Structure 1
Amino acid sequence: MLDMYFFSAAIPAVTLVGLSKGGLGGALALMGVPLMALVMPPVQAAAIFLPILIVMDMVALWSWRHFNHRETLLLLLPGAVLGIAFGWATAAIIPPNALRLVIAIITMLFVLRYFYETWKTKPGHVIPPGPQNRIKASFWGSLSGYASFVAHAGGPPFQIYVLPLKLDPKVYTGMSVRFFAIMNAIKLIPYFALGGLDTTNLTASASLLPVALISTLAGAKIVKYLKPNIFYPLMYGMAFFAALKLLWDILPI
């Protein structure tokens, strides 16, 4: 499997996910598994990616170790854990494409609302940050956990809750790194149970680790120099492209 055909798809896929893990937005991460799926079955591509994601998480956690938003993280995590458990239990029942469609539509409406409010806001007027809400955090956190397990699309639901809080970009990124690192660690259990982490897949994962490390560090370096007035439009734009990518995955080709 470790030939030029494999690496021609795997290296760009891991690079995009690494930049995303470093802090450049979830739309890049959504490209990873589909690119790998060009040269192998999607389930195997997802299994190969999981150990790589764990290593990326470790690099990202180190890069953003000084930044976090504890309150938001603790509000989101209980729902996320329940979402992963529910996804494991119902993965064979609910079609992933149905979930992709719902998430894509909700995310696009969410992003369009943001840009509309920004456009209609008078010059000099700043839209205040949204308040924390335990019920909303539990809902979007559970949807993020569920989507992450069954459709590799946990980013958009996470962004729908967190972006309106208008956290400092570094704080936002540090907290998101922790959130998804915890989710990926939890997902190791069902992936082991499903037999996806065999010797062949782990060998493929190990061969891609240098690309994973370099791209994750590069993403973290770029984000640390972005100002809020650039960072947030970029993140909303990434969310919109993530929604488009989910819709593209549904289209029959």
Structure 2
Amino acid sequence: MTFITDPVFYLIAVPVVLLIGISKGGFAGSLGLLSVPLLSLMISPIQAAAIVLPILCVMDIFGLLAYRRTADWRNLGYLLPGAVLGILVGYLLFSYLSADFIKVLLGVICVVFTLNHYARRVPADHVANAGLVRGSFWGSIAGFTSFVAHAGGPPLQFYMLPQKLDKTLYVGTSVWFFFAINYVKLIPYGMLGQFSLENIGTSLVLLPLAPLGIWMGVKAHKMVSEVLFYRIAYVLVLLTGGKLLWDGLSGMNLLF
């Protein structure tokens, strides 16, 4: 079996996969956006996305076992058609996206997502409603960013968080959403030839961590302070985004 053998890669990849599982199992999967940026510090973002996708698909199965009866079906009905459209756009634009451009895009997503979190000042009693237009728009953005770099969490949160759903209902809806779009993404990823023997082999090496991460996330959902988890997470997202922006802009010769 062919796979990446650099031990430094696994020093990053192992905690990244566990973090994704913990996030998907207990915190709505929002930290999935960290997977490709962090791995992109070692390999190309395109290869990183291809390695992570099969792992995400396995995690989604375990996530459904935990939240199979928990979802806001109306929100999913608004989100999923747009998400499929966003995936299609990502597929059509794939050959035009360079590794440096993807790094810049990822960096912008990470930084904007974090700054939006810190800058947002929403009245405590304000609750937004589910809507077809908003759901379709943010669903399409989530589909595109998820296709490019498994970074569909921020757009989904922009749409879902203002509704202030029950925490468990919110996580369950997220699990169902990413289960659907990740399996749809397998088709265009395969058509683009992203599942090389090395990528699949590396995915298989990391795969045993998938159920462990989900199990840890389900436990953490009940035991760990969500506030503390996200405080640490947002700092990591911001630092990673800044590093990717620097690397991408440097590669595009846009920095002095």
TM-score grouping bracket, smaller chain normalisation: 0.7 to 0.9
CA contact (8 A) 2:86 2:144 kept: yes
Q: How does 1:1-253 map to 2 (within 5 A)?
A: 1-2=4-5, 4-24=7-27, 26=29, 28-93=31-96, 95-96=101-102, 99-100=105-106, 103-104=109-110, 107-108=113-114, 110-114=116-120, 116-117=121-122, 126-225=124-223, 231=226, 238=233, 242=237, 245-252=240-247
Residue 175 of structure 1 and its aligned partner are, at CA, apart by: 0.4
Distance 1:169 1:237, change over 3 A: farther
Would you say the 8 A contact 2:28–2:172 is kept in 1? no
1:36-90 residue CA offsets vs partner (Å, 9 max, x unmatched): 3344333222211111111011111111112111111111111111000011111
Contact 1:107 1:240 in 2 (8 A): no
Q: What amino acid is aligned across from residue 17 of structure 1 in structure 2? A: I
Q: Gaps spanning 5+ residues in structure 1: where?
A: 119-125
Q: Cα distance, 1:91 vs. partner? A: 2.5
**Does structure 2 conserve the Cα–Cα contact (< 8 Å) formed by 1:159 and 1:239?**
no
Compute the displacement of 1:241 (Å).
5.8
Contact 1:26 1:238 in 2 (8 A): no
How many equivalent pairs are there?
Answer: 242
The whole-number CA distance in structure 2 between the counterparts of 1:76 and 1:50 is: 20
TM-score, normalization: structure 1? 0.82
CA distance in 1, matches of 2:85, 2:228: 31
SS in structure 1 at match of 2:68 = coil
Q: Is the 8 A contact 1:103 1:243 kept in 2?
A: no
Closer, same or farther in 2 for the Cα pair 1:183/1:239, shift >3 Å?
farther
Q: Which moved more, 1:93-102 or 1:141-150?
A: 93-102
* Partner amino acid, structure 2, of 1:150: V
Worse-superposed segment, 233-242 or 8-17: 233-242
How many angstroms apart in 2 are the aligned matches of 1:158 and 1:107? 11
- 1:156–1:239: 8 Å Cα contact kept in structure 2? no
Query: When the two structures are superposed, what TM-score results if normalisation uses the length of structure 2?
Result: 0.82
Aligned residues with identical type, % of pairs: 39
Q: 2:63 aligns to what SS in structure 1?
A: helix
AA aligned to 1:185 is: Y
